[in-house]
A and B are shown apart, each in its own frame.
Chain A
Amino acid sequence: MALDRIIGGMAIAFGAFLLLYGIPANVRMVSGMMPYPALFPQIGAWMFIVLGAIQLGLGRDSFEFPGIRQFGVFLGVVGLTLLAVLGLERFGYLTVMIPLLAALALVSGERRWPWIAGIALGLPLCVWALFEFVLQRGLP
């Protein structure tokens, strides 16, 4: 089955989920009043259903997925950054950013230690100095 058709099916399912559960559970539902708060989200949900149905009918493969390794690296980089973000206020800006950049340099294939040290130490220090001293915005 063409991937675009799968997307069409998923769009229909998403629209139906919104209409049957997502919107009633998260938007105040009122009857006998126009316009009502759920009107606009319902327009969006119906668009998903109608467009998904068209996509299901017309769908053809119009894209290719990258290799599993590239996809894995992407998710890994997102995960590393998320960890750094969540630890930002607890551990401090430099404490978090220096290891993050060192890890990203290693993940991206950099093996020259002077370069890794330059990226991991130099860049966070420069940005920290930019915000602290030039823009006068205190970082955690």
Chain B
Amino acid sequence: MLDLTTIIAGIGDAFTLTNLIYILLGVMLGQIVGAIPGLSILMALAIAIPLTYSLDTLTAISFLISINKGGTVGGAVPSILLNTPGTPESAATALDGYPMAKKGQGGKAMKYSLYYSVFGDISSDIVLITVSVPLAAVALKMGPIEITALMILAFTVISGLVGASLIKGLMSVALGFLLASVGIDPALGSARFTFGYIELLDGMPLAAMAVGMLAVTEIFLRFSEFATAPRGSNLDRAQSFEPGEQSVTFKEVWANRFVALRAFAIGTVIGAIPGLGSTTAGFLSYSISKQAAKDPESFGTGDPRGIAASEAANSAVVGANLIPLLTLGIPGNIAAALLVSAFIIHGVQPGPLLFERQGQLIYGLFGAMLVANFANLLVGQFGMRFWSMVVSAPARVVYSGALLLCVTGMYFAGGGVFGLVIMLGSAVVGYIMRLTGFSTIAFIVAFVLTPQLERSINQTILLSDGDPMELLQHPIAIVLLLASVCAVYFLGPWKKKDPGVAGA
């Protein structure tokens, strides 16, 4: 079990100068990327992963988490000023943020969003820090049969909640299984699907696939949209600030404390469930707050409660979605899957054993997350005014620069030209998947988890000697498998889905 020395040493690690600088840089980068409509946090994370190769593990992960945190704050800027969400999770913020901006209170709306966002983020981080250690201790008691059952449940829930349908989600999972099978098999150590390429013996490069599927697909898609867009289409201009009407007092923030608390609770629960994401949390919290209000008609007209409901909830997801990742090794969404790839690149395997083997690193990470929240507040306090100028950056320049960074970063991180070819191939696959409604989230999560799942299945077969009746000796596994059956029933193609939830 962890001792106090490890905890203190870990938290101390978070406060090195290098770490603090990278946290600040990450938050700034995240806020800028979030502020540019069309550039997602995922794209920023995917591009940033190769840049962290030369950093030590804690600094690299802190940098990436800071980008994620900064992005949720920055994404609110174009939502408020342009009615165009910078990131999908900020879409609900536009419902009341934009009307405030139209009243000439754009700065005030952005400050509301910053404060509630930081509140949601800090609170969910505290929940993460509090519950992850006991949860990991419980997870350690699970054997391979329970882990196999748990992963089946995770795949079913993720497949059912994201993308166009459960069936397509599970097909994406199957594709993830197949591509993750490339390389050396764990049973005999023989090569699988390597086609004579030595580079494939180590498996398909996760970073190249993730960057290709998430970032490069989006960039190419945008280029093809630019080429076919009608001439003269232009971005709106950001609203100008009017001095004197933009400040927010503590009393004004405090007035919405119950809305923010409820939003934090919703965001934390949603974040802890694999497959659901910030977008779902933001909209769910907004609609619940509106229904609970005595004057629901004021929502949508520039009510700060709308901003509090959306921002506190979508930011609370950031910390909470690390709960399944750190305790069970299951990434709940793509941002978490990308963090897994960063962990693996640095030789760390996320999961319950992480607390025993890398306790100092984990507490360093917790410390860095808390520091990143305050950095978010500080940078946002001074930077919001500048990010409002970034929202009108020419998109062609932005996407050209993003493509260059992807190509250059992956050249180093993905093993040269071979990695780049994999990246481009993944971009084409990602494009086809997107067109046909297959979930890239389910695919990447399956790809990341396959080695662990295959190991668990192999161990299960060896332990049970191939006897399915052995399952009856494991009640937790039975419960998890029954939950999977329920998930298939409730999320299956025979149930109509709200398309707004897809792609969370």
User: What residues of chain A have their CB less than 8 Å away from a CB belonging to chain B?
Assistant: 3, 7, 11, 18, 26-28, 30, 34-41, 43-45, 47-48, 51-52, 54-55, 58, 62-63, 65-67, 69-71, 73-74, 77-78, 81-82, 84-86, 88-89, 93, 97, 101, 104-105, 107-110, 115, 118-119, 123-124, 126-127, 131, 135, 137, 139-140
B482 interface residue (CB < 8 Å to A): no
Whether A52 contacts B428 in the complex (CB less than 8 A), given A30-B188, A44-B178, A97-B404, comes out as no
Most chain A beta carbons < 10 A, residue from B54, B167, B188, B421: B167
A84 proximity list for chain B (CB < 8 A): 407
User: What residues of chain B have their CB less than 8 Å away from a CB belonging to chain A?
Assistant: 51, 54, 164-165, 167-168, 170-171, 173-175, 177-178, 181, 185, 187-188, 190-195, 220-221, 223-229, 231, 394, 396-397, 400-401, 403-405, 407-408, 411-412, 416-417, 420-421, 424, 427-428, 431, 435-437, 450, 454, 457-458, 461-462, 466, 493-494
A11 proximity list for chain B (CB < 8 A): 171
CA of A6 to CA of B175, assembled, Å: 17
Excluding A18-B178, A27-B190, A28-B191, 10 further A-B contacts by CB distance (< 8 Å) are A37-B190, A40-B181, A41-B178, A70-B228, A74-B221, A77-B224, A97-B407, A107-B227, A108-B226, A110-B396
CA of A137 to CA of B54, assembled, Å: 10
Q: Decide if A69 touches B165 in the complex (CB within 8 Å).
A: no
Q: Decide if A104 touches B190 in the complex (CB within 8 Å).
A: no
Q: Decide if A137 touches B412 in the complex (CB within 8 Å).
A: yes
B185 proximity list for chain A (CB < 8 A): 27-28, 37, 40
Q: Decide if B421 touches A82 in the complex (CB within 8 Å).
A: yes
CA of A119 to CA of B416, assembled, Å: 24
Which residue of chain A is the closest to B394 with respect to CB atoms?
A115
Whether A88 contacts B417 in the complex (CB less than 8 A), given A47-B174, A109-B229, comes out as yes
CA of A66 to CA of B228, assembled, Å: 11
Q: Decide if B408 touches A127 in the complex (CB within 8 Å).
A: yes
Q: Decide if A55 touches B167 in the complex (CB within 8 Å).
A: yes
B168 proximity list for chain A (CB < 8 A): 7, 55
Give which listed residue, A38, A58, A123, contacts B400 with CB less than 8 A. Answer: A123
Q: Decide if B187 touches A35 in the complex (CB within 8 Å).
A: yes
Q: Decide if B466 touches A34 in the complex (CB within 8 Å).
A: yes
Task: Provide 15 A-B residue pairs closer than 8 Å at the C-beta atoms, listed in order of the A residue.
Answer: A26-B192, A28-B192, A41-B178, A44-B175, A51-B170, A55-B171, A63-B436, A81-B403, A81-B424, A85-B417, A119-B397, A123-B400, A123-B404, A127-B404, A139-B408
Shortest A83–chain B CB gap in Å is 11
Shortest B52–chain A CB gap in Å is 11
A48 proximity list for chain B (CB < 8 A): 171, 174
Whether A108 contacts B458 in the complex (CB less than 8 A), given A63-B164, A97-B404, comes out as no
Q: Decide if A107 touches B223 in the complex (CB within 8 Å).
A: yes
CA of A85 to CA of B212, assembled, Å: 13
Whether A73 contacts B424 in the complex (CB less than 8 A), given A40-B454, A41-B181, A110-B396, comes out as no
A123 proximity list for chain B (CB < 8 A): 397, 400-401, 404
Q: Decide if B177 touches A47 in the complex (CB within 8 Å).
A: yes
A37 proximity list for chain B (CB < 8 A): 185, 187-188, 190, 192
Which residue of chain A is the closest to B219 with respect to CB atoms?
A77
Q: Decide if B407 touches A85 in the complex (CB within 8 Å).
A: yes
Shortest A30–chain B CB gap in Å is 7
B421 proximity list for chain A (CB < 8 A): 82, 85-86
Q: Decide if A77 touches B170 in the complex (CB within 8 Å).
A: no
A140 proximity list for chain B (CB < 8 A): 411
A66 proximity list for chain B (CB < 8 A): 224, 435
